[in-house]
Amino acid sequence: MTPGRVVFVGCGPGAADLLTLRAARAIAAADIVIWGRSLLVREAVDAHASPGAEVIAWPPATMEDVLRAYDRARAEGLVVARLKSGDPGTFGLMDEELAAARERGLAIDIVPGVSALGAAAAALGTELTRGGPLELSRPDGGAVTFALFMPGRDPERELRARGLGGDTPCAILHRLSWPGELVVRCRLDALTEQLADLGLDGKTLIVAGAALEP
């Protein structure tokens, strides 16, 4: 029996055609496909999963269900494709599952994907590292562009705490590459109000700083 394997597959920001060839092949080769309903478009799964594969959607699946699938992978020598939005290496929240796979002696592969960052740059028609570095979460100064993933309750405060002034250009990027993609530009001092007006769900990235300067 071949040893079990978990492949963490970066599936891009949502659009089925932003899946890489390697990702498509990894999904097609899997006995079990586990995908995150909130961040991935179902067609990406349907188009590539083998007809005989077991497809598990999270939610309603829980971490216990995922761990049960890993147990079966070990016991039966199965391949699990664990689909992640964007690139698994950028806020892929993989730690717990990587540890669980390693504890079970499963082989691990990671397939990189197109991050929401890349989709944001494309939607904005710019380079996010323009004029200086890109900071994903750490405080910094100078010509910096910040990208806030999973923005919390008060992104304006978070960005001001990193030294950005009220006139800093910002963009609210929602459902990048999905139908209904939304790009709203505003100054930092209008960010809270804009977000309240838009009332968006979780698929939102906020970019602020140098890359958005005219």
Ligand X SMILES: C[S@@+](CC[C@H](N)C(=O)[O-])C[C@H]1O[C@@H](n2cnc3c(N)ncnc32)[C@H](O)[C@@H]1O
| Interface residues toward ligand X, by CB under 6 A | 13-14, 39, 84-87, 90-93, 115-116, 149-150, 173-178, 202-205
Q: Cβ 93 to ligand X, closest distance in Å?
A: 5
Q: Cβ 192 to ligand X, closest distance in Å?
A: 17
With CB atoms as reference, the residue minimizing the distance to ligand X is: 86
Q: Cβ 3 to ligand X, closest distance in Å?
A: 27
3-state secondary structure the chain: CCCCEEEEEECECCCHHHCCHHHHHHHHCCCEEEEECCCCCHHHHHCCCCCCCEEEEECCCCHHHHHHHHHHHHHHCCEEEEEECECCCCCCCCHHHHHHHHHCCCEEEEECCCCHHHHHHHHHCCCCCCCCCEECCCCCCCCCEEEECCCCCCHHHHHHHCCCCCCCEEEEEECCCCCCCEEEEEEHHHHHHHHHHHCCCCCEEEEEEHHHCC
Determine whether 78 is exposed, middle or buried from the number of CB atoms within 10 Å of its CB (0-12, 13-18, 19+).
buried
Q: Cβ 1 to ligand X, closest distance in Å?
A: 32
Closer residue to ligand X in complex, CB, 50/137: 137
Q: Cβ 206 to ligand X, closest distance in Å?
A: 8
Closer residue to ligand X in complex, CB, 90/168: 90
Q: Cβ 92 to ligand X, closest distance in Å?
A: 5
Closer residue to ligand X in complex, CB, 179/214: 179
Closer residue to ligand X in complex, CB, 115/145: 115
For the CA atoms of 177, 181, 184, 188, what is the dihedral angle to 10 degrees?
-60
Closer residue to ligand X in complex, CB, 14/209: 14
Closer residue to ligand X in complex, CB, 78/206: 206
